């Protein structure tokens, strides 16, 4: 079993839709959590960190459930430009144990 698991998708949604991705992690020593975005044939870029209290950045909302060991990303009012792969990233305690999920692909259609 992978330490960080994501639904690979793809998720195909129309513009304006709300879409949610989940990510589960298996190591309870995980300390920090992030969502990265990766466009086709490009490098990953940080989308947002995920805090225990949940956090929002414009149309994006990230939530963490430590008890159930999952992280979620909600995208509201989807835009064509949101089409990308979203990577769930977990940092374990002890440093340098950054684990990337395989990613969830999102296609937003006009």
Partner 1 sequence: NAGVTQTPKFRVLKTGQSMTLLCAQDMNHEYMYWYRQDPGMGLRLIHYSVGEGTTAKGEVPDGYNVSRLKKQNFLLGLESAAPSQTSVYFCASSYGGEDPTDTQYFGPGTRLTVL
Which string of DSSP letters, residue by residue, matches 66-105?
A: TTTTEEEEEE-S--GGG-EEEEEEEEETTTTEEEE---EE
26 binds partner 1 (CB under 8 A): no
Q: Are 35 and 54 in contact (CB under 8 A)?
A: no
101 binds partner 1 (CB under 8 A): yes
Residues in region 32-91 near partner 1 by CB under 8 A: 32, 34, 41-46, 49, 87, 91
Interface pick for partner 1 out of 60, 70, 100, 107 (rule CB under 8 A): 100
Contact residues for partner 1, defined by CB under 8 A: 2, 4, 8, 31-32, 34, 41-46, 49, 87, 91, 96, 98-103
């Amino acid at each position: 079993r992978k330490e960080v698991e994501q639904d690979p998708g793809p998720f195909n949604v129309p513009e304006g839709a709300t879409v949610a991705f989940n990510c589960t992690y298996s190591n309870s020593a995980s300390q920090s959590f992030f969502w990265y975005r990766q466009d086709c044939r490009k490098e990953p870029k940080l989308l947002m960190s995920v805090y225990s209290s949940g956090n929002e950045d414009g149309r994006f909302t990230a939530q963490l459930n430590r008890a159930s060991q999952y992280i979620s990303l909600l995208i509201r009012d989807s835009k064509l430009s949101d089409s990308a792969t979203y990577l769930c990233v977990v940092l374990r305690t002890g440093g340098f144990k950054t684990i990337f999920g395989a990613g969830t692909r999102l296609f937003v259609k006009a």
